[in-house]
Amino acid sequence: MASSSLLSKLLLHLFISYIVLWSSKVDAQVEETSLKLMRDALEWPLSVSLYSDLNDNEGEEEVDGEEETGHSRRSLFWTRMRYYISYAALSANRIPCPPRSGRSYYTNNCFKAHGPVHPYSRGCSRITRCRR
């Protein structure tokens, strides 16, 4: 009888110590993850501008500096980029060329355009299936 109570106490002690040790590992992992999230959040800029000066080179400097630290993938979204829309694209009466027509999207009037669709010549191979 004494051996069974000793065995049960030993099993109870092992079970409690296992739970205590396991929960401390989980706490350490949670705290480490939350610190990473806070560090990432603090590195993000408060505002992102889509338009910047033509002579602005801050985006290039940031990418070069962050490639050394290994955080360049995350920061590519926040680098300044310049977007331009032409006046022709903004006009209401402009219809873009269909994507599979073979003509450039920027052709002035693709439905009235004459001539070959691909006026350039290129090298021939089985992969490219060039025109002859």
CA distance linking residue 17 with residue 21, whole number of Å: 6
Residue 65: predicted pLDDT: 47
Residue 39 and residue 1 in one domain: yes
**Which residues form the domain of 30?**
1-43
| pLDDT attached to residue 62 | 46
Is pTM beyond 0.85 here?
A: no
Same structural domain, 98 and 129: yes
Q: What is the pLDDT of residue 4?
A: 81
For residues 37 and 54, membership in a common domain is answered with no
Q: Are residues 99 and 131 in the same domain?
A: yes
- Residue 18: name the closest of 30, 26, 29, 7 by CA: 26
pLDDT the model gives residue 59: 47
pLDDT of res. 67? 47
Kindly give the parts of the chain with pLDDT less than 50: 44-68
Together in a domain, 35 and 62: no
For tokens 């052709």, the residue is: 107
Distance CA 14, CA 130 (A): 75
Number of domains in the chain: 3
For residue 63, the model assigns a pLDDT of: 46
Residue 127 shares a structural domain with residue 102: yes
Q: What pLDDT, in 10s, does the model give residues 53-71?
A: 444 444 444 444 444 455 5
Are residues 101 and 69 part of one domain? no
